[in-house]
Amino acid sequence: MTIDAPIEDELTIAGMTCGGCAARIQGHLDGLDGVEAALVNFATGRATIRHAPSVDRHVLTGAVESLGYTVVERDEGDRAEEAREQELRRRLVFAGVLAAPAMALSMLMSLQFDGWEWLVAGLSIPVILWSGWPFHRAAILNLRHRATTMDTLVSMGSLSALGWSLVVLLVGVGDGHVYFETGAVIVTLILLGKWFEVRAKRRSGDAIRALADLGAKTALLEDGREVSLDDLVVGMRFKVRPGEKIATDGTVVDGVSAVDASMVTGEPVPVEVGIGDEVIGATINTSGSLTVEATRVGADTALAQIIRLVDEAQGSRAEIQRLADRVSAVFVPLAIITAVVTLVSWLGVGQPAGEAFTAAVAVLIIACPCALGLATPLGIMVGTGRGAQLGVIIKGGEVLEDTRAIDAVVVDKTGTLTQASMVVSEMVAPELDDATAERVARLAGAAEAHSEHPIAAAIAAAYPDQADVEGFENQPGLGIVATVDGCPVRVGRRLLFDEVPAAVEASASAAEAGGATVVLAGRARTAEIVLVVNDQVKPTSAAAIAALHDQGLTITLLTGDNARTASAVARAVGIGDRPGDGVIAEVLPADKAQVVATMQAEGHRVAMVGDGINDAPALAQADLGIAVGTGTDVAIEASDLTVVSGDLRGVADAIALSRRTLTVIKGNLFWAFAYNAAAIPLAASGVLNPMIAAGAMGLSSLFVVSNSLRLRRFAGYRRS
């Protein structure tokens, strides 16, 4: 019997006003038959639902709309948010125009005249009822489903002020004081806070929207035709003139130029490119003309994948959010109970009804958990968006928490610390004549042409040969075995050979002592020649290691290369300058993950940085996997963080940004909790009146918003 695998749907939801709305929708979706898990993100306005194939999308949409919210198309989400901002602004302006004179009449005795209360009522009632209608509507919908949210508190507070004031004015009970202006000012201040909040949410998504707008709209083909980007297919060749955007990912087939990739990779300096170099779509050609052959189009391009990854990250939920969710779920009912207890207590000790009522309304207003609902998702949104601008892709909220605990970094050598542009600098054959040595080298070059390893590419380039290759076999971490023109050939490490003559071993050891990488090659099972390969250290690697040290991290160089070469590279970049640093060399790909596991067993929280297929197991094993984006798709898929550029300083940026984002989120949550914990007792004791409470509630949300938006100024090590 086969069980159909669950599928995942995403809904864009309009009409959510607070974190409580998101929690209610999520709970309702979770309760549907066939739904495994639902995640609703208030900041992004999206719900992700994992469910059985038997559950129709219309069922999910109907469940959301039954709660009073609207499901819109994905591309309509931004328009819906913009429309909501405009509606809030209209209601806010209307409220401000009427609430200001109402408050002035109520607060300044010099302006009061006989019957002034009726004028204040006339000014305030439209504000409470029309400007505050979004809160009342949401509260009514919530009440139908026996739920409460922030809107419930705002609606109850403002309508209570209105109701009590009408009773006092019409019936003459109490001390004669009316609170019309209190209800109007409450609605006005909370509308002001919500308007700022919506604007901030839209600004927090500016980074990803800017990325989406980066792409070129057309491409100029080699034959002079201009085609839409949608009509571009893999294999087509297009021209890029100076100052133009590169239409899509591709390989340069003609021309030399410098490409500004800063908006995609975070690299502040244009990169020189020439024939054979890969370029990323949407980057800018700054100088010479280029002809590029398209290798990826549409959703497969680097830019499209970055947008997808960031979009998924912004919809994720950090573990720390669960605490906020649990608190928010009980906060509103608890606030209503507290308000009732406050009212009864004040009346019970003989206080005037008006003062008792004022204290109860203040409790309702001050308890609104708006800031709690925004604290985590807004921080994640801004942090991941800023990361995308810097070429750092954070794959989710959980990654932020994992990053904070990291104390050790394991770094791959080839392609991560070094250029991975290997060059054969010398060939040594101590026991062969020149012609035979050249013949063996060309056999090795023909065999290595079938391998994708950077060292293999260097050997194939140095000794090109079109000989027939059969029985090619790649032995990970050791080398290759093949039959070239009928001759058995081996190319790789010492362990690949049955016999390594003493003279060959001496030549190899001498080259390794100078920091070079050596590859042995020979016919049959005997090593006959030594190919000396050099790989230059990236000019930014030393600065990157220093930046990681600055963050209190110990660094281990992990490589399959020989110990001498590994130690030379480590010394060049500064690994070993801090106690706890180390070098682990001659490690087979299958064993890299075990090295990480051993470090974890010793109590370390390990981040692994790599760029190749052979790094994928270690990236997955590590507490935090960081892929250098110039590497393979497999490595990127296995990682938690991706640095789009090949600059290792981007790794330091990624860790620093993740830590900064988590710090901001924790600061948001602390002040949201502290604000409510301190303010509710003050409101219940009569120290805070409802208008001050409404202003304070709005300020708490504005603090969370402004604190999160500080992440937009994060610069990183590459721009310092």
Longest dimension (CA), the chain: 118
**Rounded Cα distance, 237 and 221, in Å:** 6
Q: Give the separation between CA 557 and CA 535, rounded to whole angstroms.
A: 15
Q: Which residue has the tokens 């410098």?
A: 258
Non-local CB neighbours of 687 within 8 Å, separated by 6+ positions: none
CA distances from residue 661 to 210, 315, 495, 699 in whole angstroms, order as listed: 20, 15, 47, 21
Q: How far apart are CA 75 and CA 512, in angstroms?
A: 58
Residue type, 385: G
Interacting residues of 434 by C-beta distance below 8 A, sequence separation 6+? none
Nearest to 467 by CA among 439, 435, 428, 490: 439
Query: Residue 11's closest CA among 25, 32, 31, 23?
Result: 25
CA dist., res. 140 & res. 127, Å (int): 18
* Cα–Cα dist 656/494, whole Å: 41
Residues paired with residue 272 on neighbouring β-strands, in sequence order: 258
Pair of tokens at residue 322: 């669960």
Do 718 and 268 form a contact (C-beta atoms < 8 A)? yes
What pairs with residue 252 in β-bridges? 292
Please state, as a whole number, how many other Cβ atoms lie within 10 Å of the Cβ of residue 3. Answer: 6
String of b and e for 584-614 (b: at least 16 CB within 10 Å)? bbbbebebbbebbeebeeeebbbbbbbbbbb
556 φ, ψ (degrees, to nearest 5)? -120, 125
Residue 302 has, within 13 A of its CA and on its CB side, a CA count of: 31
User: Among all residues, which ones are annotated catalytic?
Assistant: 412
Phi-psi region of 198 (alpha: psi -120 to 50; beta: other; left: phi over 0): alpha
Q: How far apart, in Å, do the first and last CA atoms of the chain sit?
A: 60
Collect all residues with Cβ–Cβ distance below 8 Å to 107 and sequence separation of at least 6.
Answer: 181
